[in-house]
Amino acid sequence: MKLYRVIAAALVALGALASCKSGIEADVEKTLKGMDLDAKIGQMVQLNIDLVTDDNGLDEAKMESVFGRWKIGSILNVYKGQAQTREKTAELIAGIQEASMKYIGIPCIYGLDMIHGASYLSEGTFFPQEINIAATFDTKHAASMGSVMAYETKAALCPWIFSPVMDLGRDPRWPRLWESFGEDAYLQSVMAVAETKAIQEEGVATCLKHYMAYGAPFTGKDRTPAILTEQDMREKYFRPFKECIEAGALSVMVNSASINGVPTHANKTLLTGWLKEGLHWDGLIVTDWADVNNLFTREHVAADRKEALALAINAGIDMVMDPYDTLCCADLKAAVEEKLIPMSRIDDAVRRVLRLKYRLGLFDNPVWDVDGFDKYASEEFAAVAKLAALESEVLLKNEGVLPIKKGARILVTGPCANYMRSLNGGWSYTWQGSSDAAYVDRFNTIYEALSAKFGKDKVRYVPGVEFDEAFWQAEKNINIAAAAAAARQVDVVVACLGENSYCETPGNIDDLNLSSNQKELLKAVAASGKPVVLVLNEGRPRIIGDVEPLAKAVVDVMLPGNYGADALADLLSGDANFCGKLPFTYPKHVNSLHTYDYKVSEQVGVMVGEYNYDAVMDVQWPFGTGLSYTSFEYSDLKCNKDSFKSADVLDFEITVKNVGEVAGKEAVLLYSSDLVASLVPDVRRLRAFSKVDLQPGESAVVKLSVPAEELAFVGQDGKWHLEKGAFRFAAGKCSLTLNCTETTIR
């Protein structure tokens, strides 16, 4: 800690920096003027920490090469590929900064993948994954996750995190669905904006990812091509990026795959056109992992690295994450010397790198005092993370079995029953969320949390099926008969089924069905005649249509994190009430994967007779489903306008009453439907939501505002159209229709 005791100073808050923008620009220009081409190129490159370390920590010879010879501007990733203490992380970053200042005179910017809390620090506070945060329908949880993860990251001397993820989880086959805030563009946007602001208020830079439409691969497999309409891109996939950039986001990481045949890393229209010029944005664009190389090795749009670099940098890339080696430096220099990349583009890219470093105060304080940070990994942070988990777990079905009565004898079974990996998912201690054994002893699995809640003597654990540590899709120790026998001895069975942890391309699957072993386990325990509570612990909705009727209750806990099992025990016992709602559509059939905002003509109904065919919306649970131990009645939906034009703001009110016996929170979701439009309209779109907390018998008037221009769609001409005609608004079972009296095109 020597260096940063000496240089000790607090990281300057970004808000304060914003007010001296012109000062920063002058500093950027001055620094740029002093740099030769080699120095400029080095600042545009980001390497993996392996290139400056060995088994014993920082390697001086490697640092001399990386910073002295190549003048590299950024390092990423966790040392040895697994979580480190904050002290170790700070020590490494301090040493890197010292070398960067000594050899280049420019601070390094270090980046870490903190996705759901400080998930690469061994003691860090883990929140539920973003998919769960979305299920809370309360932006306060996105904000608290952002603040805590930034505070703890800063406590480890790291100024930059690759978060929030905003890919829109619209295809359940895609292995990264759980990393973002669900399938809806509005929900994704408001959650990501709350997280972005919270992170940056702590003085840490966000990196929005993965720009854009990464979540829409045609095949469902990670990093494969997307085929998308311009309407969907502009209305849905672009929106969260636009809103986070307008909220001050400082950097963006790019989608690894291609859209409509153009690899996003080579897409000048999207990178320079939409993002930089369209939003007048002066932030930094970094590639994803080795994605310049992928332009020639995988995408075949360039013959070699030099051509790939020229394509990407000319499209708008500012920093090349080339984690494995420094080869790109020489190729980038050759590309500039051969005039494949204009010097003006290099200067613009370097300005963006320097600007980010100045904005973070790194030139004045490359390191800061990390001795304080008393709230790091505190009980206070744990309580906030647990509350987020509690409000995110979704009750999908309850035929009188929940809450489980105190004194009941319980069998806990299934591969997720006594397993922390499945609660956390990927990006937890390691990339794949594997090898967590050294860190998770202090947290409860579902079995442990239920034992603590209901009494050790009442709760029995017989796995039936276990996950194989070696390969996430493999299962072992199959003994379904033992679980079935145990089921006959208890009053209620809690079957914890789902997925082992995974992440990115290794998480690809060939069948969206829940594994057959697990379905067999559910059938066997249900055959005991004892009521079964099915707990789904999974990163994406695995299909259970054939076995779901066997469960008397279903709870989807998704990936609730280290405190998720304690939250579940509170919920299953009735000590707390459910209030989460599904932020995605849970499919029922493998060939019917829909989103809630499907085109009206995706649902054409059934024709009988000779021409019998159908296109029926038959999903397991719609977006927004979420039950409670109480019931809410909606009435009196009103709007301040009878009709409207584009500039109006529609202020809605609706009365919500708790008509049940226990207190509960209800997320009120307001949807709009454009009844007739010049392009086939979406059946409905979420426009606003708000959560209320009501005692039994209590009611509240919930206010929800929708700027009328939000109701516009992107027409064939690429412009935003708000067309004359009827719009229906609905919340719960209440609805009203308003007329738009004027067509506006912008």
- CB of residue 425 vs ligand BGC: minimum separation in angstroms? 14
* Among 88, 279, 289, 469, contact with ligand BGC (rule: CB under 6 A): 289
Q: Which residue number, 214 or 454, has a Cβ lying nearer to ligand BGC?
A: 214
Q: How far apart are the first and last CA of the chain?
A: 56
Q: Which SS3 state, helix, strand or coil, does residue 192 take?
A: helix
- CB of residue 422 vs ligand BGC: minimum separation in angstroms? 21
Q: x-or-dash pattern for ligand BGC, window 171-210, by CB under 6 A?
A: --------------------------------------x-
Say whether the peptide bond before residue 164 is cis (omega within 30 degrees of 0).
yes
With tokens 């009565």, the residue in question is 405
With tokens 């895609």, the residue in question is 174
With tokens 């007329």, the residue in question is 739
- CB of residue 517 vs ligand BGC: minimum separation in angstroms? 30
- CB of residue 427 vs ligand BGC: minimum separation in angstroms? 8
* Among 288, 331, 448, 548, contact with ligand BGC (rule: CB under 6 A): 288
With tokens 């980010």, the residue in question is 356
Q: Which SS3 state, helix, strand or coil, does residue 737 take?
A: strand
Q: Which residue number, 207 or 496, has a Cβ lying nearer to ligand BGC?
A: 207
- 370: number of CA atoms within 13 Å, CB side? 25
* Among 91, 98, 113, 723, contact with ligand BGC (rule: CB under 6 A): 113
Q: Which residue number, 256 or 673, has a Cβ lying nearer to ligand BGC?
A: 256
Q: Which SS3 state, helix, strand or coil, does residue 464 take?
A: coil
- CB of residue 252 vs ligand BGC: minimum separation in angstroms? 12
User: How is residue 549 written in tokens?
Assistant: 């009727």
Contacts (CB under 6 A) with ligand BGC, residues 76-105 = 76-77
Rounded Cα gap, residues 642 and 738, in angstroms: 6
Q: What's 405's DSSP letter?
A: P
Q: Which residue number, 80 or 375, has a Cβ lying nearer to ligand BGC?
A: 80
3-state secondary structure 620-659: CECCCCCECCCCEEEEEEEECCCEECCCCEEEEEEEEEEC
Out of 113, 171, 288, 566, the active site residue is 288
Rounded Cα gap, residues 544 and 138, in angstroms: 28
Q: Which residue number, 166 or 683, has a Cβ lying nearer to ligand BGC?
A: 166
Rounded Cα gap, residues 554 and 514, in angstroms: 14
Determine the size of the site formed for ligand BGC (CB under 6 A): 9
CB 126 within 8 A of CB 145: no
Among 61, 74, 666, 581, CA closest to 349? 74
Contacts (CB under 6 A) with ligand BGC, residues 353-412 = none
Q: Which amino acid is at 273?
A: G
- CB of residue 270 vs ligand BGC: minimum separation in angstroms? 17
Q: x-or-dash pattern for ligand BGC, window 212-251, by CB under 6 A?
A: ----------------------------------------
Q: Which amino acid is at 682?
A: D
288 a catalytic residue: yes
- CB of residue 430 vs ligand BGC: minimum separation in angstroms? 12
Q: Which residue number, 289 or 720, has a Cβ lying nearer to ligand BGC?
A: 289
Q: Which residue number, 77 or 445, has a Cβ lying nearer to ligand BGC?
A: 77
Contacts (CB under 6 A) with ligand BGC, residues 141-170 = 162
Strand 284-286 versus strand 251-254 pairing type = parallel
Using alpha carbons only, what angle is made at residue 624 by residues 621 and 629, rounded to the nearest 5 degrees? 85
Q: x-or-dash pattern for ligand BGC, window 503-542, by CB under 6 A?
A: -x--------------------------------------
Listed in sequence order, the residues at least 6 apart from 207 whose beta carbon sits closer than 8 Å to its beta carbon are 111, 160, 161, 162, 163, 250, 251, 252, 253, 286
Among 291, 341, 283, CA closest to 315? 341
Q: Which residue number, 78 or 311, has a Cβ lying nearer to ligand BGC?
A: 78
Residue 50 touches ligand BGC, criterion: CB under 6 A: no
- CB of residue 144 vs ligand BGC: minimum separation in angstroms? 22
Active centre residues (catalytic): 288
Residues near ligand BGC (CB under 6 A) are: 76-77, 113, 162, 209, 253, 288-289, 504
